[in-house]
Amino acid sequence: MPYIKVALDVPLPKVFDYSCAEAAPHHVGLRVRVPFGAKQAVGVIMAVTDAPTIDPSKVRPAREILSDLAPLPEDLLELLRFVSDYYHHPIGEVVLAALPTRYRSGTTRRTVATVAISSDGSAALRAGLDRSPVAAAMLAMLESRGPLGERELAELPPAQRRALRRLVARGFARLVAHTASPVAAPASMPPTLTAEQSAFVAGFSESADRFRTWLLHGITGSGKTEVYLAVMARVVAASRQVLLLVPEIGLTPQLEATLRARFPACPLVTLHSSLAASQRADNWAAAQRGAARIVVGTRSAVFAPLPRLGLIVVDEEHDVSYKQNEGVRYSARDLAIWRARQRDVPIILGSATPSLESYAAASGGRYTLARLTQRPNAATLPTVKLVSTAALRIEGGVAPAMLAAIEDRVARREQVLVFINRRGYAPVLLCYACGWAPVCPRCAAHTVLHRTRTLMLCHHCGREEAVPASCTQCGNADLQPVGFGTQRIEATIRSALPAARLLRVDRDTTRTREAWPRMRQAIVQREVDVLVGTQLLSKGHDFEGVSLVCVLNADRSLYSTDFRASEQLFAQLLQVSGRAGRGALPGEVLIQTAFASHPLYAAVCAHDYDAFARMLFEERRLAGLPPFVYQALLRAEAPRSHRALDFLAHAAGLAAPLAAGVSVYDPAPAAMPRLQGRERAQLLVQSQSRTALHRFLDRWCLALWDAKTTRARWVLDVDPLEI
Ligand SMILES: [Zn+2]
Ligand SMILES: [Zn+2]
């Protein structure tokens, strides 16, 4: 009797044995429905064997092998095994998390994506045949608004959904298959590449058929995307697949349009979390069949099966969103490199501000460094100046010199981008009499004052509360907003420049899916003079009319306890600066700061990434921080603080005898010690040797699993980005 080993979505570091009479070696990688406890579960067959690991009399039979989807290819299973080993995360959770949600359940029945009115339905509607008012209303809606998509269907109240099902049964409405092809873009021709760009493409082409990691360091506006497109063209012309990873979904519609215009005949799919579940499953399947030649996606797309993979591109490789922050905490950039090596294909990491890890790898010769140092069309980099606030008392958050510069640009009909990395009105509402300020009862954080909808909002858990009329401690009725968010800056500029047309772009104003495209349109058509926004505005958007970028509140990250904060601030400032002067207008950047002599700002003003990277590199070397050491963080959380810390103390005890060549630090509260009512703590371990660290982690994790604690939830974060 054959047995199968099944990965199941449970937090245990093992696969589960089942008997299965029909199982054969070619079933490895298929999904299977099995009994689990009193329930059923869907898992993935990882191996077919002759004998189970446990007592055969205790092995239960599998219910059904699901063959609606081709088996996961062996190279993908190998990647997932590596992820489980390297990140020390249960294999079942890793495997199931890599699948699109739709495939994690056993639904072989395809749910229908779209419902449209049939000709019988139209006739019935005109003849007034339907006597049920709900059904008649549904028919009228289908007739006037067109087919309903999956999302709209899901939002219908139950009565309407039932009516719709009856209409389908009667032939008045019909189910329509996906129309996967999006709006066709007009084909566009590639521009002539600059000498630098051509040199890269030529160098790349010499070794385009084998593994090599390229670090493409190109200043903002140097046309990295054009370079990607040029090398991608070669790969798709050879009938192979390209995986293009991008940090955030905000970037994909624009990029997608560019790609479709450049490769009109090339099947392209996107993979990201804002796709409808069935669309995502379809796109994934198209990648797996090899039908999709270009796969553009965020982080999790690194797990897409790609039988004809020829190239991986990781755009903005320094971006922290490549690191998954819950569940299995993988780095999509690092896994992309692993995958490129596994498949022996080249990989390009692109950035204007490479991560220090990649910079180190390129300096040490592990990656091939290529540079783009010029902007095409002889456009110059923007001038960056500091607006010192050291001796000033700033009313309204914006220095007078900065307001004057904004006014000047608006008068010249040029656009201004004001960047402040904080939404809401003011981060704190303070009682000056006693020092009290409202905090979230569930999180260790102040609640943020919002004015458009007047309330106090916790930015960590989303909890909303009324704005207190007076101090709950001393009764003082004069509570003052302290600090600045997008709403308050918007108010300041509005009162200083009442005639200017303002637009605020932050998470509060871009909540709906249609909001951002509409705003983008308004910006491009110059219906807006001043944009006030958060980091949503900093990446990848080219607005030709923007000639001035103002940066507020950057100082906050200068003296952070997080050693990566300055690296991220530098990247962000260069990124934001790159938004100025993308068109014909020369760009200018003003950074408001109380620390005008800080070396980070000097490097930003000089656009000198290398100087800054060398400085940081030296700092990290002296302090013994990554990339000079390898770290892992054991994160624990529990309903009460001492339990998380108790658990970590126990974990530290288990670590002590195993820790050869590894430093084990003391358990400490997390940077955010309370979140959503749970107390959080962490334990850092690090080593100068990655091998020593992982040898230790292997044994430590076994001991931790054996400890079978139920007192605290824990997860290991290997190569953590936030400590
Ligand atoms: Zn008070
Ligand atoms: Zn909260």
Q: Where are the alpha helices (DSSP H) in 396-540?
A: 400-411, 486-496, 515-524
Which ligand is nearest the CA of 463, by number? 2
Average pLDDT over residues 578-591: 84
Distances (CA, A) of 525 to 492, 543, 546: 25, 10, 12
Q: How far is the CA of 478 from the centre of ligand 1 (A)?
A: 9
Instruction: Give percent above pLDDT 70 in the chain.
Output: 95
Average pLDDT over residues 80-91: 97
Q: How far is the CA of 439 from the centre of ligand 1 (A)?
A: 13
Burial call 301-316: b when 16+ CB within 10 Å, e when fewer: bbbbbbebbbbbbbbb
User: In the numeric block, which tokens belong to residue 178?
Assistant: 């996906």
Cα dihedral 550/555/557/558 (nearest 10) = 130
Q: How far apart are CA 597 and CA 591, in angstroms?
A: 12
Q: How far apart are CA 389 and CA 554, in angstroms?
A: 12
Q: How far apart are CA 383 and CA 547, in angstroms?
A: 11
Strands 241-245 and 294-297: parallel
385 — pLDDT class (breaks 50, 70, 90): very high
> Which residues on adjacent β-strands are paired with residue 64?
33
Kindly report the average pLDDT of the chain as a whole number.
90
Q: How far is the CA of 25 from the centre of ligand 2 (A)?
A: 50
Q: How far is the CA of 463 from the centre of ligand 2 (A)?
A: 6
138 — pLDDT class (breaks 50, 70, 90): confident
Per residue in 278-319, pLDDT (tens digit) is 889 999 999 999 999 999 999 999 999 999 999 999 999 999
Average pLDDT over residues 516-521: 86
Computed on alpha carbons and rounded to an integer, the radius of gyration of the chain in Å comes to 28
Per residue in 231-268, pLDDT (tens digit) is 999 999 999 999 999 997 665 667 888 899 999 989 99
Q: How far is the CA of 486 from the centre of ligand 1 (A)?
A: 26
182 — pLDDT class (breaks 50, 70, 90): very low
Residues 6+ apart with CB under 8 A from 273: 249, 298, 300
pLDDT at residue 304 in the model: 97
Q: How far is the CA of 457 from the centre of ligand 2 (A)?
A: 8
Residues around ligand 2, an ion, CB closer than 5 A: 440, 442-443, 458, 460-461, 463
Per residue in 456-478, pLDDT (tens digit) is 999 999 999 999 999 999 999 99
Q: How far is the CA of 598 from the centre of ligand 2 (A)?
A: 34
Instruction: Give percent above pLDDT 90 in the chain.
Output: 68
User: In the numeric block, which tokens belong to residue 177?
Assistant: 């298959």
712 — pLDDT class (breaks 50, 70, 90): confident
Q: How far is the CA of 213 from the centre of ligand 1 (A)?
A: 58
Q: How far is the CA of 517 from the centre of ligand 1 (A)?
A: 44
Q: How far apart are CA 709 and CA 693, in angstroms?
A: 23
Which ligand is nearest the CA of 430, by number? 1
Which ligand is nearest the CA of 436, by number? 1
Which ligand is nearest the CA of 472, by number? 1
Q: How far is the CA of 633 from the centre of ligand 2 (A)?
A: 23
Q: How far is the CA of 332 from the centre of ligand 2 (A)?
A: 29
List the single range of 218-227, 372-381, 433-442, 481-490 with lowest mean pLDDT.
372-381
Q: How far is the CA of 425 from the centre of ligand 1 (A)?
A: 21
Which ligand is nearest the CA of 446, by number? 2
Which ligand is nearest the CA of 477, by number? 1
